[in-house]
Amino acid sequence: MKRIKLTVAYDGTDYCGWQVQPNGITVEEVLNRKLSELTGEKITVIGASRTDSGVHAQGNVAVFDSDTSIPPERIAYALNRKLPEDIVVIRSEEVPLDWHPRYQDTVKTYEYHILNREMPDPVRRRDTYFVSYPLDLDKMRSAAEYLKGEHDFKSFCNIRTDVEDTVRTIYDLDIMREGSLITVRIRGNGFLYNMVRIIVGTLLRVGRGFYTPEKVKEILDAKERTAAGVTAPPQGLVLVKIEYPAGG
């Protein structure tokens, strides 16, 4: 028996998120089915990050255990021949049997992509959030400074969050513009349910002039979801990568 780690990219548009659920097809469900076909075993993957419906990934991580004779580094190639075009295994490798993608320290990087121009682009409708009104990026960057570091992000998580500890650390939060594309890149030690999308929704309120940058500190201190902006839609969000500083 060996444990195989997969680095997985996917376009989440047509999936009901990562985690298996009864009301629609998910990325995890497809991986389980295709890995079972490939190995001839009953395979159930363990994922590192349970992305929501419509959210994309360039570097989510999952593991599974198998007795397959296929070399670990070749599983990605064999599996990709079976997977649909919107799911790709970037890399496969063997890890220790006790290595778990969730029960250790990680650094996660997300990007949120905003198409900011007068008219929408049908080509980018699946991977950007279209915003037609002007945005003041300098004010958004000033607001983002209040979110860096260790804070209680209770105001920036969905009310259905079932975790007791809502303290997280944001290492970097950058807002960049190239032409009509605005990218919000955020790197931290973990994220609460809908946290990145609520941060983006709040920063957009700042960019439009509805909130001052200083308002973001008030929202943090309130520790109340209703104090923050709306949750930005899922299609602009991408899980870029998950880093394991201790190895793996």
Question: What mean pLDDT do residues 11-35 have?
Answer: 96
pLDDT of residue 163: 85
Residue 162 has pLDDT above 80, yes or no: no
Least confident of 29-43, 136-150, 151-165: 151-165
Report pLDDT for 248: 65
Catalytic residue selected from 14, 52, 65, 105? 52
Average pLDDT, the chain: 96
Which residues, including other chains, have CB under 8 Å from residue 195's CB and lie 6 or more apart? Answer: 153, 156, 157, 168
pTM attached to this predicted model: 0.95
pLDDT bracket for residue 50 (50, 70, 90): very high
pLDDT at 34: 98
Residue 16: CB atoms within 10 A of its CB come to 18
In the predicted structure, residue 122 carries a pLDDT above the cut 80:
yes
Catalytic-residue membership of 52: yes
